[in-house]
Amino acid sequence: MDLEKLSKEQLIGMIDDFAKNWLAHDGLWFQQVEKNYGMEKAIELDTEAWRTFTKIEAKRIMKRHGIPENSGLEGLKKALSFRLYSRLNIQSFSEETEISFVFKMNRCRVQYSRNRKGLPDFPCKSVGIVEYSEFAKTIDKRIKTTCIACPPDDHPEEFYCAWKFEIED
């Protein structure tokens, strides 16, 4: 395929399709593990997969977008904006200071889809703690990650999960 011949709109559409396909595969994989081994085992295996994947994703984002190692909170904010699912979810940054910021997943495609089907929020907190902590530490070892709220925690309607990132000296 000659990507150079595609329009900007076609390329953006392909990126969106890639992200949707990846997320669909991730969900289908999880559902099969849950069906065969139960929710607890599925979350355990998903956590370990994310422990590795999130570092790979962070390193590729850093390389592609010129984000140097130990680039602090600015590097992390930039990297979070380039994650694969950033094309599918609505995210925001708030409470920004020189030493911290809060990252919110205002609309999560997975949770939104479950809610539309009348299902409860997916309990992703244990996976999210590993995912966001490892992603942040790959960008800069000094960054500490704290979960503000993530399902199964109660959360306001304005976000599904929120994470505080702080730079530690």
pLDDT in tens, 83-96: 999 999 999 999 99
pLDDT at 50: 96
Q: Which residue has the tokens 């244990």?
A: 126
Q: Is the pTM of this model over 0.75?
A: yes
Q: Please report, rounded to a whole number, the percentage of residues in the chain having pLDDT higher than 90.
A: 92
Residue tagged 């979810």 (tokens) = 89
CB proximity list for 72: less than 8 A, separation 6 or greater: 140, 142, 143, 167
Listed in sequence order, the DSSP H helices in 66-158 are 72-81, 109-116, 125-139
pLDDT tens digit sequence for 14-24: 999 999 999 99
Q: Which domains does the chain have, with CATH numbers?
A: 7-167 (3.30.1380.20)
pLDDT value of residue 99: 97
Check residue 114 and give its pLDDT. Answer: 87
